[in-house]
Structure 1
Amino acid sequence: MTDIAALAADLVAESESADGLVADLDADGWATPTPAPGWTIAHQVAHLAWTDRQALLAATDEEAFADTVKQAAANPTGFVDEAAEQWSRRAPAELLAQWRQGRTELAQALAAVPSGQKLPWFGPPMAPASMATARIMETWAHGQDIADTLGVRREPTARLRHVAHIGVRATGFAFQVNGLPKPTEPIRFELTGPGGESWTWNDEDAANRITTPALDFCYLVTQRRHVDDLHIEATGPVAEQFVKVAQAFAGLPGAGRKPGEFL
């Protein structure tokens, strides 16, 4: 059984890690462009705060969330970016306070969802554990954008396992969103965690295999590093194709990072 309380605690911890990067920035710091085209640090935080808010609505007010889904359906390619733009215009102190309040309330709300209940979302309904894991993944990824902007190296934590888990679970989606058929052969994923622990997924006898440090795998599936800059061993044609299309996040494939951009 998934420990939703532990996941909620990890979401809080991951958010606090990203918060520590921006808490002391001045107005110019918040306006610094990040590797995401057109997005400043304020946009990155605004996106996290807005998405946490939508997840909170999904967990506590389905009617209000349904209105948001209708708005998204009317502008599927620009809705998220427009929300980030609008929220980024708020004063940094106000935006930071809203992010802190929203993510705290979200963690509490997810931990309180009755067992077996799923939450509405922009795609298929999600279990609270899946929602918490997705928020950890996105918070880590956008936190990485901020860290890269500021030239900060973050110490990897065991929370990377949540990011990696989504990257593995999204294998079929990653192929399909890139116009490729969903693979019929499994990939064995063998990752080494920050403390030297082994994290594995799928049959150990699978012909296709990915072997890599967990941090590099998370960089790959969130497209925060170019595959040429990572230590990833791919064995088998499906695994070799996977490293070209890996994507843990929803939506269309991103441009990713250029080789050597962040070494």
Structure 2
Amino acid sequence: MGRPLRRVPPAARFLGRYAVLGAGGVCPRRPVLHARHTGNIHRNPAARCCGARLRQPPGPYRPWSDGPVTPPSQPCLDGTLHVADDGTRWLVYSRGTEGAAGAAGIRDGEMYALRLSADLRTAADEPVLLFRASSASWVRPLRFPEGVKPPSNLNLAKDPLFTDGPFLIRAAEGSLLMLWSSHGEAGYAMGIAESTSGTITGPWIQHPEPLWSSDGGHGMVLRTSGGRNYLGFHWPNSTPDERVRLTEVDISRAGIRIL
């Protein structure tokens, strides 16, 4: 754990291989994606979500989608794959508050789901808005200290509410839950949204309190072969001190609870 943690795109086992949905700069016609991170929305606000796949998790990766699958005009980050009960493939991603060249970002970050083709190569429909950051009562505006300005290339809206790091998991009782992150009362935080219909298109409601309230987020759940669940996330949220933290959790219809 001596080396800084890299922010890496999610990888999911899919049809005998591993699919990676990475946010990078405007993807070339045939994007070259490797096992290492292909880009970072905080360095390139024009990021789009592209796809790659491989036979083994360490790579090397080869291009899979023919360019970006998300709308070219819409910045996105943190795409994650969700396979619905009927087998439909969805890309769930955040439209953060970063802007594009010449256009300021939105103030209220958004979370979207985009139906993909069966082979993950292309979008099969238009993106569906799931919720906005302001729908969660624990979210607070991201404000920089007096005299500190955000990087100009991000083109942020003033005091934005952002969405970050979606991860979906179904509880044993059938409820569909989403981990996602934003800025809370004590800094970077992670909350839980729940689909009242049990499907990806929602409607989605927000749990009133964050699961993790201070200086950590962008979580995923590891389910062991023995049936135990561990929440993995980066903490603290300060470069270069980020490290992976694992903590056991209980997942039920009531939500996700840290043990």
Q: TM-score, with normalisation over the residues of structure 2?
A: 0.26
Q: Determine which structure has the larger helix proportion and give its number.
A: 1
* Higher relative contact order (CA closer than 8 Å, sequence separation 6+): 1
Structure with max Cα Rg: 1
